[in-house]
Amino acid sequence: MNVVAEALRKSYGDTAALDGLYLAVRAGTVHGLLGPNGAGKSTTVRILATLARPDGGRAEVGGHDVVRDAARVRARIGLVGQHTAVDEVLTGRRNLVMFGRLAHLTRRAARRRADELLETFGLADAADRPAGTYSGGMRRRLDLAAGILLAPTVLFLDEPTTGLDPRARAEVWRAVRELADGGTTVLLTTQYLEEADRLADDISVIDHGRVIASGTPEGLKAELGGDRLDVVIADPGDLAAASAAVERVTGFRPEVDEDALRLSAPVADRVGALSGTLRALDDVHVTVADIAVRRPTLDEVFLRLTDRAQKTTPKEAVR
Amino acid sequence: MSAATLRWTVLDAWTMTVRELERRVRRPGALIAALAFPIMVVLMMGYLFGGQMDAPGGNYREFIMPGMFALTMAFGLEGTFTAIAADASRGITDRFRALPLSASAPVAGRCAADLVDAALGLAVMALCGLAIGWNWHDGAVRALAAFGLLLLLRASLVWAGVWLGLVARGPESVMVIQVLVWPVGFLSSAMVDPSTMPGWLGAIAEWNPLSATVTACRDLFGQPGWEAHSWPGRHALALALAWPLVITAVSLPMAVRRYRRLS
Ligand SMILES: Nc1ncnc2c1ncn2[C@@H]1O[C@H](COP(=O)(O)OP(=O)(O)O)[C@@H](O)[C@H]1O
Ligand SMILES: [Mg+2]
């Protein structure tokens, strides 16, 4: 394990930002920390990156305690925070050289590393322009480059694509993928399920400062989401009858998309639900255009998880 | 502190200073605007208000320059504050903190860059002053000593500015700093004779660190000043040295500790 957190607690006034958070990141993997705004993602990253001190619990990065051995941890990590942290007046190259010097590379090594990274991140052509003239995606890539100047063993990325357009997001994804393929352990926070699904080997879903589910993207979907039944009917007039029939069979009131004439409900027994629903719809003379059982999207998993967490832990934040 | 640590602290501070100077060079417009401000104030004070005011020794422009120098040093605090708060709010400070570099380096680099700014500002104002009839009368050495006192005051305010910038929520709160700095600036002997103020206000103005520097500078430049009745007025030079040292002794550890402090 390259990153371990045990029972981390952190409060800001009355707000429990972290409320007993556990985390284990395997070396060489991308771990996604998925959660809505205010879930405690940045607080987790800041504690692991030695920028904040936990009120309780402990954490290790690369085998070193983040509080007692902060200097050793700092020598092994890279941090790309929630806000792009580059000097917008300086050029891309000067930014990297400056951060390289501050990371105690020799002048020559800092220059060489800057050139190398500008090349890797596709910024060589823009290297001598002020970072303020870069597009959002370019600035974020420069930020990433600054984060891995020292070839860290563990890289923390706090919402690296929030606020980027789809093209820039794809650029950043590619860069992260390449880093991970090169052997860097990455802890990535995100509000986007698609991002976690795409990049992460393991996912921890967090809400209200604690992990509410974890596993591989596939595992999470299979284990916690259950399957879903989608039915598309032919005639808009049949929506009410079809909804009642699906509810009778699955036990859940289906979500109805009136424009697509699609009904969708969670199911436990794949085959039984399929044949049972077909029969029930036939009984009430509803014509079926399409029917299928599928894995849930992570969005559906996530909504269900946060919903469940809210129901089972009613407001115990203040302690 | 080992030799290697010390060496890196100096190098880190140097890297930070270079960054700040490079920012100036890359934005000549901002630099020119920053230098134009003191020129404008000198001209405004000298020509617009000058005719209305009675000055000791009769020459208002002669009299006003040391006050203007000192006020400019005090208002420099706003620049320090804004730069530090901007870095902190954009996460650049966090990136520095996550690097294995000494906590005093960014603070020291900031101070060096701000002193270069201040020296440039003083030079421009002095040239401007010379053009409108101000001069020093007791030799270049004493004049240089006066500029040294002014820079000493500025340096001590850098630490205070760094601390405030790290405590603040963002560069927008510079308004709050202005609300603090302007009264402190004008509640001094820079522009007005403290003996004409209500008693308690006059006492505050007499003890104001700015007053000590202004009074000592007037003396070193050989220029007329208010008649000194009080203890602080008669010991201006000692106070002009002591105040910045006291301010530094208090605010430098606060700034470095705040920089290092984990939230
Ligand atoms: N410096 C701070 N001061 C006060 N409250 C904070 C601070 N940092 C975080 N919080 C609070 O802690 C909770 C978790 O915040 P954060 O870790 O930033 O969440 P996320 O990054 O997942 O959006 C939020 O309720 C937030 O308001
Ligand atoms: Mg966050």
Least confident interval from A144-158, B49-63, B158-172, B185-199: B49-63
Do A163 and A195 fall into the same domain? yes
The answer to whether A273 contacts chain B (CB < 8 Å) is no
Of A53, A87, A104, the CB nearest to B92: A87
Ligand 1 mean position to A43 CA, how many Å? Answer: 6
* Per-chain mean pLDDT for chain B: 87
Whichever domain contains A197, its CATH number is 3.40.50.300
- Domain of A268 in residue numbering reads as 227-294
CB contacts, 8 Å: A75 with chain B: 100
Q: Averaging pLDDT over each range in A193-207, B63-77, B144-158, B248-262, which range is the top one? A: B144-158
Of A171, A199, A222, the residue that ends a domain is: A222
Amino acid at A98: M
DSSP letters for A53-90: --SEEEEEETTEETTTTHHHHHTTEEEE-SS--S-SSS
Pocket of ligand 1 contains residue A38 by CB under 6 Å: yes
Higher pLDDT pick, A314 / A207: A207
DSSP classification of residue A4:
E
Question: What confidence tens digit (pLDDT) does each residue in B221-244 have?
Answer: 988 777 666 788 788 888 999 999
Please give the structure tokens belonging to residue A263.
């009904």
Most confident of the following: A12-16, B105-109, B177-181: A12-16
Closest chain B residue by Cα to residue A77? B98
Cα distance between residue A209 and residue A315, in whole Å: 12
Does the pLDDT value for residue B190 go beyond 90?
no
The distance from CA A102 to its chain's CA centroid, rounded to whole angstroms, is 30
Q: Mean pLDDT, to the nearest integer, of B202-216?
A: 89
- How many domains does chain A contain in total? 2
List the structure tokens of A158: 């706090």
Question: For residue A66, with 0-12 CB atoms within 10 Å meaning exposed, 13-18 middle and 19 or more buried, which class applies?
Answer: buried
> Ligand 1: does its nearest atom lie under 6 Å from the Cβ of A17?
yes
- Report whether pLDDT(B218) > 60: yes
CB–CB of A254/A265 below 8 Å?
Answer: yes
Both A100 and A10 in a single domain? yes
Are A89 and A116 part of one and the same domain? Answer: yes
CATH classification at residue A288? 3.30.70.100
Tell me: do A145 and A238 sit in the same domain.
no
Kindly state the average pLDDT of the residues B65-88.
92
Beta-carbon contacts below 8 Å between A and B: 74
B-chain residues near A86 (CB < 8 A): 92
**pLDDT of B53 above 70:** no
**If we measure between CA atoms, which residue out of A169, A160, A208 comes closest to residue A187?**
A160
Give the residue numbers spanning the domain of B223: 3-260
Q: CA-CA distance, B240 to A99, in Å (whole number)?
A: 38
pLDDT of A255 strictly over 50: yes
Residue A266 has a pLDDT of: 86
pLDDT at B173: 85
Ligand nearest A36 Cα, by number?
Answer: 1
Residue A310 lies in a domain: no
Q: What percent of chain B has pLDDT over 90?
A: 41
On whether both A194 and A245 belong to a single domain, the answer is no
Distance from CA of B92 to the nearest CA of A (A): 5
Query: Which residues in chain A have their CB less than 8 angstroms from residue B28's CB?
Result: none
- Is A122 within the bounds of a domain? yes
Ligand 1 proximity of A43 Cβ (cutoff 6 Å): yes
Asked whether residue A234 falls in the same domain as residue A218, the answer is: no
Whether residue A299 lies inside any domain: the answer is no
Whether chain B has a CB inside 8 Å of the CB on A86: the answer is yes
- A167 is a domain residue: yes
d(CA B42, CA A1): 65
Q: Are residues A279 and A196 in the same domain?
A: no
**Are A186 and A233 in the same domain?**
no
Q: Are A217 and A231 found together in one domain? A: no
Per-residue pLDDT tens for B138-165?
A: 889 999 999 999 999 999 999 999 999 9
Based on the domain organization, do A231 and A215 belong to the same domain? no
Q: Using CA atoms, how far apart are residues A64 and A79, in angstroms rounded to an integer?
A: 17
Both tokens of B185, joined, read: 């600036």
Q: pLDDT value at position A91?
A: 97
Residue A319 pLDDT level (bands cut at 50, 70, 90): very low
Which residues neighbour A281 within 8 Å (Cβ) at sequence distance 6 or greater?
A231, A233, A242, A245, A246, A288
**pLDDT value at position A318?**
37
Q: How does DSSP assign B139-203, residue by residue? A: -HHHHHHHHHHHHHHHHHHHHHHHHHHHHSSSGGGHHHHHHHHHHHHHSSTTTS-GGGS-HHHHH
Nearest neighbour of B101 by CB, restricted to A49, A83, A102 = A102
- pLDDT at site A316: 42
Give A261-277 pLDDT, tens digit per residue: 999 988 888 888 899 99
Choose, out of B24, B101, B262, the residue to mutate when testing the contact with A (most A CBs < 10 Å): B262
Q: Is residue A255 part of a domain?
A: yes
Instruction: Enter the ipTM.
Output: 0.86
Q: Range with the lowest mean pLDDT among A62-76, A132-146, B87-101?
A: B87-101
Q: Is residue A48 part of a domain?
A: yes
- One domain for residues A111 and A140: yes
Mark whether A131 and A177 lie in a shared domain: yes
Cβ atoms A149, A121 nearer than 8 A:
no
